[in-house]
Amino acid sequence: MTERLIIEIKQLPNAEGLPLPRYQTEHASGVDLCAAVEGELVIGPGQWKLIPTGIAVAIPDGSEGQVRPRSGLALKHGIGMLNAPGTIDADYRGEIGVILFNFSDALFTVRRGDRIAQLIFARVLKAEFRAAETLTETARGAGGFGHTGFK
């Protein structure tokens, strides 16, 4: 059984007539976020725009919202998010916005109601930092950025 998280949601005036986020299938991890633009908005190749969603949420303490790109937009149109995933902290109460980026060489038009991103909720662990002179050794050590090779 999937654990349920209660999220209070406020639909803002610019989202009038748009559906609230919902899961599209029984086992979907995220809900779709819709564009709350007036009419159409064009994103040129190599450009990005902040797209309003017309909603604000109250995420319970100990959880976060993660705004992620939609795979269909990436595959079919070369559209992604500039800051993927975007994080919505539990104390944020403003409108959720999505920074869409056009990675393609063609114009992309965002229309009112288009599903532009997905929102997933996750638990948050808070770290407590302790200064240390040394760290425990591992086989990997400080190797990073492709240290295991390409093939």
Res 141: pLDDT: 85
67 touches 117 (CB < 8 A): yes
What is the 8-class DSSP label of residue 122? Answer: E
- Residues 120-141 pLDDT 10s: 999 999 999 999 999 999 988 8
Q: Checking DSSP bridges between strand 115-123 and strand 86-88, what pairing results, if any?
A: unpaired
What mean pLDDT do residues 5-12 have?
97
Q: How many residues does the chain have?
A: 151
Res 119: pLDDT: 98
66 touches 57 (CB < 8 A): no
Q: Is the pLDDT of residue 102 over 80?
A: yes
Res 50: pLDDT: 98
What mean pLDDT do residues 39-48 have?
97
Res 90: pLDDT: 98
Q: How many CA atoms lie within 13 A of 14 on its CB side?
A: 16
Domains along the chain?
Answer: 8-123 (2.70.40.10)
Structure tokens belonging to residue 51: 């797209």
Res 145: pLDDT: 83
Q: How many CA atoms lie within 13 A of 80 on its CB side?
A: 10
